[in-house]
Structure 1
Amino acid sequence: MHIAMIGAGYVGLVSATCFADFGHDVVCVDKDPNRLNTLRGGKIPIYEPGLEELVKSNAEAGRLHFSDDVGSATGRADIVFLAVGTPSRHGDGYADLTFVYEAAREIAPHLSDFTVVVTKSTVPVGTGDEVERIIRDVNPAAQCAVVSNPEFLREGSAIEDFKKPDRIIIGTDDQRAQSIMEEVYGPLCANEAPILFTGRRTAELTKYASNAFLAMKITFINEMADLCERVGADVLSVARGMGMDARIGDRFLQAGPGYGGSCFPKDSTALTNMAQDSDSPLRLVETTVAINDQRRRAMARKVIRACGGRVRGRRIGILGLTFKPDTDDMREAPSIPIIRTLLDAGAIIRAYDPAAVAGANNTLREIEICPDPYAAAEGAAALAVITDWDEFSSLDLDRLRRQMDPASTVLVDLRNMFDPARITGAGFVYEAVGRGDLIGTGATVKHAAE
């Protein structure tokens, strides 16, 4: 099939590449000349494991192309995906649909034979209706069906998520469109991937509902972690016990500094606004958003308490800046408000992240970005682990401790990455999240065998 993917950002690039790998002919359209030149040169502008190799192999095979010509790509396409950004609108948190509607206007004149137009972007309920209206206004003769097909890709494992999905949601009542969507996802259908056909508005809402529920799950275990610290319980075991219940599951029950990234924060806010406008407020989601906003500052205060309540003029080393490992994405990363709160308290920040150098230099100009974890630890009164990159689990702890201020070797593990006995055995004062079974500040471990 001939596919046009409008937008070569994260969702568009991953989707276009995977469709090409299925054997389809795909043109990925973008207006950014620098991005296009990068892609044509065999490089990718984002950090995503395995994607660069897949882009290169499909481009070399002639199945994946990059262009700024919307008309040419759309005119020959059987299916056009709209995969443009829907950021939070400044000031009110609503989803900004400017790029979606602009893309609809741009493709409309070039639609001739029956074409399926798919909103891949995360959009509020009713957006598909407006996209269809725009297309009809611009090109009354257009033969098309507008379909909702939300993405469920996790940064860091997007290719696997696309090729081995938990589910594929397709919102359409048009039988021709349904047949084309089944064909475009043919390899996944052959592997019996679960496909759910719904109405278009239902598909649009399903995406928001999924992200909001996962955000609530993260926020719930973070509140449980706070309670564990007060009553002497262990949130790791609480989460494990909860997760053994098949009705709950163990995913997204890892206590930490709160959720971030390009999806959960903006989608949760957009959903609450949509619900308020529909006179059906979602109080659980509203509370989730508020708690998560407070969570980051609370984690900064945890670091300050671990340093004896004072960080002014003292160095704090930060390990991990991205909102999660295996991505260079700094959008809504918990590290940003944590670091800014520490800076406001007078701390001097040195940080290391395996992938976020450019993003950190643009976002956190007041801090020093270091080439490795040991440089970040130099002279530090405390280290704070904010992102659980795999490489941190194999750090040379003796070397790390020697780099720090010998008068204060505090390690605040905001992701519960480490075994407390191993850390305290290496001479650190250890602080974790929700580990109420650790005595005092963590210098002594009650249950060292865990």
Structure 2
Amino acid sequence: MKIAVIGTGYVGLVTGTCLAETGNDVFCVDIDVDKVNRMRNGEVPIYEPHLDVIFDRNIKAGRLRFTTELSEGLDHADIVFLALPTPEDEDGSADLSYVLRVAEDIGKQLKSYKIIVDKSTVPVGTAELVEKTIAAQTEVPFAVVSNPEFLREGFAVDDFMKPERIVVGATDETAIKEMKRLYAPFVRSGNPIIVMDEKSAELTKYAANSFLATKITFMNEVANYCELVGADVDKVRAGMGSDSRIGNRFLFPGIGYGGSCFPKDVKALHKAGKDSGYNFEILDAVINVNDAQKVSMVPKIKRYFKDQVAGKHFAFWGLAFKPETDDIREAPSLYMIEALLELGATITAYDPEAMPNVKAKVGDRINFAGSMYEATENADALVINTEWSIFRTPNLETLKNNLNQAVIFDGRNLYDVNEMALEGFHYISVGRKEIS
């Protein structure tokens, strides 16, 4: 099938590459000339495990091409995916300006029937807005489909190639038939293609992300309470997660969620509810608790250093909002950086992938190390923000020798409390006893 994907961010590039991998002829469209040239030369502009392999394979096979011209992609395609950014607006709503601007351009250039697919995460009613925007510019027939993505950064290729479900929001029978045909190779194991109306499809994505964010946040609140009463959140989590009605995923406590999806999607659903006269009170709490959780290590740091944080030097392990990505959007590490710098501390950080992005954001306000151990040299304490695999089994002797004091503030609960006690560390984590 002939496909165009408008936008080559995380969603667009993964979508285009994976559709090419199943034999489709794909044009990816982006207005960034430099980015398009780099992709034409085989450079993947984002870090996403396994994407580079299929990206290179499909470019060489001629199934994956790139252009800056919308008309080229539009003339080529039968199905056009809109994978455009919908950033958080000042009032918390989703900014649809990119989506609607491209929809208007499509309407002006449409020459024959196309299926226009909203792949971006958008609020309820967006498919209707896109349809009206295109229709205002053309009399050529077309269909608009809502097809939300459920990709986890770090696992996006696997999630696209082996989806748990595919949601198609459409009422146009031709569009439904073609979307089923497009996705048939991805659901051969029997996972469902769920067809529904456009508004329900749009809400499904927001509801799913908001529920997962709520689950994470509830566990963080339980962890905070464990610290007050002397319970162990690891044992509580195991007891809860063994209940099949709850499940054990997204029950790991830490220093809050971040990234490009959960923060803006929760706020967007909350704002959309208000616009419709409904207050999502649960989401109110989720937003407030997560904001506080991102800097929940700061009071512990202040307490340990008896409020004498000025002049202290901290090593940071991890900057990305989660492992296996270079994405730092709403990353807790950024909030920790600002909080500690404001207290007069200095920081040397290490992350396997995200350091260039953080450096572009904070400049020379912090230092960056070439390795995880280099970051800890002459530091007064280690702060762990991201649970990269390389941080899970460190050389504790090297770590202890590098640090001025054997102190770890672990925002991701990477280590066993009792083992750290035996190794002589003062170890402070989330929802578990503090040991020294």
Shorter-chain TM range is over 0.9
What code does the residue aligned with 2:231 have? Answer: A
Is the 1:108–1:135 contact (alpha carbons within 8 Å) kept by the matching residues of 2? yes
1:230-379 to structure 2, matched below 5 A, reads 230-365=228-363, 366-379=365-378
Is the 1:119–1:148 contact (alpha carbons within 8 Å) kept by the matching residues of 2? yes
Q: Tell me how many residue pairs correspond in the alignment.
A: 435
Q: 3-state DSSP class of the match of 1:398? A: helix
Q: What CA RMSD, in Å, does the superposition of the two structures yield over aligned residues?
A: 1.1
Deviations 1:321-376 (A, max 9, x none): 11000000010000111121111111111111111111110222311111111121
1:390 maps to 389
Q: 3-state DSSP class of the match of 2:248? A: coil
2:422 maps to 425
Is the 1:170–1:198 contact (alpha carbons within 8 Å) kept by the matching residues of 2? yes
Q: 2:222 aligns with which of 221, 224, 231?
A: 224
Deviations 1:158-206 (A, max 9, x none): 0011111121111011111100000110202333221111100000011
Deviations 1:293-340 (A, max 9, x none): 111222222223233432110111111011000000010000111121
For residues 228 and 129 of structure 1, what CA distance do their matches in structure 2 show?
A: 47
1:134 maps to 133
1:96-135 to structure 2, matched below 5 A, reads 96-135=95-134
For residues 320 and 103 of structure 2, what CA distance do their matches in structure 1 show?
A: 33
Q: 3-state DSSP class of the match of 2:187? A: helix
Is the 1:322–1:356 contact (alpha carbons within 8 Å) kept by the matching residues of 2? yes
For residues 246 and 42 of structure 1, what CA distance do their matches in structure 2 show?
A: 45
For residues 332 and 320 of structure 1, what CA distance do their matches in structure 2 show?
A: 14
1:176 correspondence with 2:159:
no
TM-score normalised according to structure 1 size: 0.95
2:150 maps to 152
Is the 1:215–1:264 contact (alpha carbons within 8 Å) kept by the matching residues of 2? yes
Deviations 1:269-306 (A, max 9, x none): 11111000101110001110011111122222222323
TM-score normalised according to structure 2 size: 0.98
Q: 3-state DSSP class of the match of 2:337? A: helix
Moved more, 64-73 or 149-158: 64-73
Q: Shift in Å at residue 85 of structure 1?
A: 0.4
Q: 3-state DSSP class of the match of 1:208? A: helix
Deviations 1:241-267 (A, max 9, x none): 111111111111110000000111111
For residues 109 and 346 of structure 2, what CA distance do their matches in structure 1 show?
A: 56
Q: Shift in Å at residue 209 of structure 1?
A: 0.6
1:442 correspondence with 2:435:
yes
Is the 1:297–1:338 contact (alpha carbons within 8 Å) kept by the matching residues of 2? yes
1:29 correspondence with 2:29:
yes
For residues 88 and 256 of structure 2, what CA distance do their matches in structure 1 show?
A: 19
1:47 maps to 47
For residues 355 and 187 of structure 2, what CA distance do their matches in structure 1 show?
A: 40
Kindly, what percent of the aligned residue pairs are identical?
46
Unmatched 5+ stretches in structure 2:
none
Is the 2:260–2:329 contact (alpha carbons within 8 Å) kept by the matching residues of 1? yes
Is the 1:306–1:431 contact (alpha carbons within 8 Å) kept by the matching residues of 2? no
Moved more, 337-346 or 102-111: 102-111
Unmatched 5+ stretches in structure 1:
444-450
For residues 23 and 244 of structure 2, what CA distance do their matches in structure 1 show?
A: 37
1:65 maps to 65
